[in-house]
């Protein structure tokens, strides 16, 4: 074979290899428009705290699932997420939209199983020691009860959607710990540290169980860093009177600049 023929052969081979290597990436980018996407979970997925909440489940198109749907236009989108959901109610009432054709599932779950909302309210009203005790009680549930509940939930999701990419998102660290005064109730720095520590431990358990199930874990702790309640640029509501359900949930900025980037990062 002549030198010229060798050069041409190398060029053709290199071109073919480039096309083969590029094809999967191009296919993956194009595939989003063909995805069937189902959002599951609790109030942090339904959109409590965002504008435009409707229905008994308080769903909003300004929650991260709705924002992702608007930005990416998948073939189908359905949100079954519901305020107040636990692992048990998710398993009994939210899985009907899943099937072998489902391409993407996202969820937040676990906070209500350990009485997260009640713990925050207790800390708002109780002493520093009373808050610490309430957080300690919640962490017993995190360690002793939640892993098995998450395992069962993730197994049910995989069984219903065997081919889906499942992204499990965590919870934000709620409070800024640097300012002296925080809210109408005067949530002390000590209380805030107790609650934030509890959120870290909750996220660790959810991360471990979701990864053990073969799902993609996406923490939102980094995204919300510097944007805690009582900080100068909070992405979460503090104690809210009207509507009270918004209390300690992300606001529009939290969903758009906290949760949505965390989901995008998980999807690559």
> For the segment 64-78, what is each residue's pLDDT rounded down to a tens digit?
999 999 999 999 999
> pLDDT digits over 200-210, tens only?
999 999 999 99
Where in the sequence is the domain holding 17, given as residue range(s)?
1-29
> If we measure between CA atoms, which residue out of 66, 264, 44 comes closest to residue 170?
44
pLDDT given at position 184 = 63
* Pair (3, 45) in one structural domain: no
* Pair (103, 19) in one structural domain: no
Q: For residues 230 and 180, what is the distance between their CA atoms, to the nearest angstrom?
A: 9
pLDDT given at position 258 = 98
Of the two residues 200 and 28, the one the predictor is more confident about is: 200
Q: For residues 263 and 6, what is the distance between their CA atoms, to the nearest angstrom?
A: 47
pLDDT exceeds 90 at position 234: yes
pLDDT given at position 181 = 83
- Residue 43 bears catalytic tag: yes
* Pair (107, 162) in one structural domain: yes
Of the two residues 261 and 15, the one the predictor is more confident about is: 261
* Pair (24, 39) in one structural domain: no
Q: What is the CATH number of the domain that holds 181?
A: 3.40.50.1110
> pLDDT digits over 94-126, tens only?
999 999 999 999 999 999 999 998 999 999 999
Tokens of 165: 């990419």
* Pair (112, 21) in one structural domain: no
* Pair (141, 16) in one structural domain: no
- Band the pLDDT of 13: cuts 50, 70, 90: very low
Residue 128, burial from CB neighbour count under 10 angstroms (0-12, 13-18, 19+): middle
Long-range contacts of 59-64 (CB under 8 A, 24+ apart): 62/252, 62/255, 62/256, 63/39, 63/255, 63/259, 64/106, 64/169, 64/255, 64/256, 64/259, 64/260, 64/262, 64/263
Identify the DSSP state of 256.
I
The total number of structural domains in the chain stands at 2
> If we measure between CA atoms, which residue out of 82, 107, 81, 83 comes closest to residue 262?
107
* Pair (17, 41) in one structural domain: no
* Pair (21, 142) in one structural domain: no
79, 194, 237, 249: which one is catalytic?
249
* Pair (139, 260) in one structural domain: yes
> pLDDT digits over 114-170, tens only?
999 899 999 999 999 999 999 999 999 999 999 999 999 999 999 999 999 999 999
Beta bridge partners of 38: 78, 105
Report H helices in the chain: 3-31, 43-46, 64-72, 87-93, 116-125, 128-144, 146-160, 189-212, 221-224, 252-253, 260-267
* Pair (127, 180) in one structural domain: yes
2, 18, 43, 133: which one is catalytic?
43
- Residue 227 bears catalytic tag: no
* Pair (124, 158) in one structural domain: yes
* Pair (10, 141) in one structural domain: no
């Amino acid at each position: 074979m002549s030198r010229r023929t060798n050069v041409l052969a190398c060029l053709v081979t290199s071109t073919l290899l480039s096309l083969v290597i590029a094809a999967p990436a191009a296919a993956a980018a194009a595939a989003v428009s063909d995805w069937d996407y189902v959002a599951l979970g609790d109030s942090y997925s339904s959109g409590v705290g965002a504008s435009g909440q409707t229905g008994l489940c308080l769903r909003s198109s300004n929650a991260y699932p709705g924002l992702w749907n608007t930005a990416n236009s998948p073939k189908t989108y359905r949100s079954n997420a519901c305020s107040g959901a636990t692992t048990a109610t998710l398993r009994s009432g939210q899985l009907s939209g899943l099937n072998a054709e489902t391409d993407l599932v996202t969820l937040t779950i676990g906070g209500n199983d350990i009485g997260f909302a009640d713990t925050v309210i207790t800390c708002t009203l109780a002493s520093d020691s009373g808050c610490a005790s309430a957080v300690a009680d919640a962490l017993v549930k995190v360690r002793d009860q939640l892993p098995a509940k998450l395992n069962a939930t993730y197994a049910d999701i995989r069984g219903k959607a065997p081919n889906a990419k499942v992204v499990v998102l965590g919870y934000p660290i709620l409070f800024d710990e640097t300012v002296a005064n925080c809210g109408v109730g005067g949530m002390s720095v000590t209380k805030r540290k107790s609650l934030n520590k509890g959120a870290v431990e909750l996220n660790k358990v959810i991360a471990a169980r979701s990864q053990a199930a073969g799902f993609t874990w996406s923490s939102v702790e980094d995204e919300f860093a510097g944007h805690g309640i009582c900080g100068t640029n909070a992405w979460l509501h503090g104690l809210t009177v009207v509507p009270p359900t918004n209390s300690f949930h992300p606001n529009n900025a939290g969903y758009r600049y906290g949760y949505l980037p965390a989901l995008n990062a998980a999807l690559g």
